[in-house]
Amino acid sequence: MSGSTVLRVAAVQMQSQDNVAANLKACESSVAEAASRGAKFVVLPENFAYFGASSGKRSNAESLDGPAGPIRRALVDLAACHGVVLLAGGWPELSTDSKRPFNTATVYAPNGEILANYRKLHLFDVTLPSGNRLQESSAMTAGQDVVCCDVLGVRVGLSICYDLRFPELYRKLVDRGCEVICVPSAFTKETGQDHWHTLLRARAIEAQCWVIAANQWGSHPTDKTTYGHSLIIDPWGAIKAEVESGTGVIVADLDMQLLDKVRKSLPSLRHRRIVC
- Per-residue pLDDT band for 125 (boundaries 50, 70, 90) equals confident
Give this prediction's pTM.
0.96
- For residue 2, the model assigns a pLDDT of 44
- For residue 133, the model assigns a pLDDT of 79
Our answer to whether residue 27 is catalytic in this structure is no
Q: Which pLDDT tens digit goes with each residue over 71-81?
A: 999 999 999 99
Distances (CA, A) of 20 to 69, 81, 140, 160: 11, 20, 18, 20
Instruction: Compute the average pLDDT of residues 244-262.
Output: 97
The half-sphere exposure of 130 on its side-chain side, counting CA atoms within 13 A, is 10
Of the candidate ranges 124-128, 135-139, 175-179, the one whose mean pLDDT is the lowest: 124-128
- For residue 127, the model assigns a pLDDT of 81
As a whole number of angstroms, the distance between CA 94 and CA 100 comes to 8
Domains and their CATH numbers in the chain: 6-265 (3.60.110.10)
Q: Which of 59, 251, 269 is nearest to 170 (CA)?
A: 269
Of the candidate ranges 22-26, 97-101, 164-168, the one whose mean pLDDT is the lowest: 97-101
Neighbours of 197 (CB within 10 A): 17
Burial 9-45, CB ≥16 within 10 A → b, else e: bbbbbbbbbbbbeebbebbeebbbbbbeeebbbbbbb
Instruction: Please tell me which residue in 148, 161, 178, 182 is annotated as part of the active site.
Output: 161
Do 120 and 91 touch, CB atoms closer than 8 A?
Answer: no
As a whole number of angstroms, the distance between CA 276 and CA 226 comes to 34
Instruction: Compute the average pLDDT of residues 181-210.
Output: 97
Burial of 152 (0-12, 13-18, 19+ CB in 10 A): middle
Is residue 129 over pLDDT 90? no
Q: Which pLDDT tens digit goes with each residue over 196-252?
A: 999 999 999 999 999 999 999 999 998 899 999 999 999 999 999 999 999 999 999
Is residue 262 over pLDDT 80? yes
Instruction: Compute the average pLDDT of residues 95-123.
Output: 96
- For residue 3, the model assigns a pLDDT of 45
Question: Following DSSP, what letter does each residue of the chain receive, concatenated?
Answer: --TT-EEEEEEEEB---S-HHHHHHHHHHHHHHHHHTT-SEEEPPTTSS--S-HHHHHHH-B-SSSS--HHHHHHHHHHHHHT-EEEEEEEEE--SSTTS-EEEEEEE-TTS-EEEEEE-SS--EEE-TTS-EEEGGGT-B------EEEETTEEEEE--GGGGG-HHHHHHHHHTT-SEEE--B--BHHHHHHHHHHHHHHHHHHHT-EEEE-BBEEEETTTEEEE--EEEE-TTS-EEEEE-SSSEEEEEEEEHHHHHHHHHHS-TTTS-----
Do 103 and 62 touch, CB atoms closer than 8 A?
Answer: no
- Per-residue pLDDT band for 276 (boundaries 50, 70, 90) equals low
Our answer to whether residue 161 is catalytic in this structure is yes
Is residue 1 over pLDDT 70? no
Q: Which pLDDT tens digit goes with each residue over 11-54?
A: 999 999 999 999 999 999 999 999 999 999 999 999 999 999 99
Neighbours of 252 (CB within 10 A): 21
Instruction: Please tell me which residue in 120, 136, 149, 242 is annotated as part of the active site.
Output: 120
As a whole number of angstroms, the distance between CA 236 and CA 206 comes to 9
